[in-house]
Structure 1
Amino acid sequence: MSEVAVQTSELWSSLRQRTQARIGLGRAGSALPTRHRLELQAAHAAARDAVHSPFEPDVIAAGLAGTPTVRVRSSAPDRLTYLQRPDLGRRLDPTDRAHLPTGEWDAVFVVADGLSSRAVHEHAAAVVRETAARLEDWHLAPVVLAEQARVALGDDVAQAMGAAMVVVLVGERPGMSAADSLGAYLTYRPTPVVTTDADRNCLSNIRPPLGLNYAGAAEKLAGLMTRARELGLTGVNLKDETDALPG
């Protein structure tokens, strides 16, 4: 191998250590080298598994260490319907809605399976614990564990429970580099149908060690919640004023 080829190989190797993107993989004829092709197939399988793996609320409840929880379902009766009918995943099952506790809550956390139950199982409980610990003077509702749920289901939950604010922790759509990414969506005074994505704030890619860590996510989330309560709003008019991203 020539000196130039060696230098090029070392450069690509160095760059690959700094990103999860698939770069400089080379080729075998007109295709990828076998090793990289197998890695790609494994990543695709992991993404499919993340979407189709069943939600296990017991895992979340155990990780919340005695924090009160309530379990609900969306109006989507099964996973296939959930994937084909996003609108049903945004609405509570009427029976479950009627059984939700009510109160003058400052906020409610909703843990929703979304498109990656794996992300929720691995990260959601820790984010709820870390964030709640920074909200000492807040009156928090029982954590709602929601199956076959999308982000907007939190609007329905907050309205039914009388919560002023909702934080939805949801498994994000898996990609070929990450099947375990958790998102946190914050909405003040949500109203089903009327509330839009422009009324929310989002923290994405919560998944240590490769993404946002729990302490960093909780610090940002608690800060946004505090500011939202002061201003009476969330969404495009609520800005993250921290100087730098947490590690």
Structure 2
Amino acid sequence: MELHSSFYVDSPEALVNFDLLAWDDGCWKPIPGGSVRNNPKTTTVKTVTFTTPVVASKVRLLWLEYRDPATGLGPSNTHVRELRVMGHPTTPTTGPPTCMAGEQIAVQDARYAYALFLPAGYNTDRNARWPIVFSLPGTGGVMLTNDHQAVNTNAEGLAWNLRDATYRAGFGAIAVSMHYWTNGRVSGENAYFNAFHGGSDSMGPASQSTALKTKLETQCGGTTSAMHAITTYPGVGHSNTVWQNAFTDPALWTWLFQQRISTRQP
């Protein structure tokens, strides 16, 4: 593989740290020998030789430069001009994928790091289709460690439940838990979603959660919406107990996985 980075050949703005990943028709996996660290800023043309043969339909580059934790921004003057992968046609892999299934892992991405869970049976059938759940934490939720390499032990939302082996074994969907790296509002907007509420929540009445469903059913056609029935937990305040109880409720997942775009009312 040959990488041309920065603006031009003699520019002192080459990529310093990056990984090369191969698509295994089910997940992105690191390429053996494809991890580059401390590449000189002046080395804009970098040749990488893989240590073992790689069979893949796609290859991508993951830039691992420093990002400011306050802004999420990194150096803006480094570019990838060309990524050239040399190889030869071969028979595509037809067996089952070999992804990290049944565990929750940290995934680094060029734009956003996240915690990923693949169901225990994910590798059984390459052509199987799975539902996917995107889990949003509260404003205090931190999904990953500071280096985005491991799932944090105080994760919120579905990532917290998926730390338990028994829960993981019975969860039949792909789960992507976003990493909430800053406390507070995002671009001036509240990052809140209401589907469950604590009856003794001092931060606001249960009507804050019921208002959305009420609007859907009274102002959008006057019919029962597909939104899950509002659940209020008596005696529970503004605490993690709300979502911990919600995500362990089988009725929630039964309802969610029954939803289909094709059956929604206009």
Tell me which interval the TM-score lies in, with the shorter structure as reference length. Answer: under 0.3
* Greater Cα radius of gyration, structure 1 or 2: 2
Structure with higher helix content: 1
TM-score by length of 1: 0.27
TM-score by length of 2: 0.25
Structure with higher strand content: 2
Greater relative contact order, per chain length (Cα 8 Å cut-off, separation 6+): 1
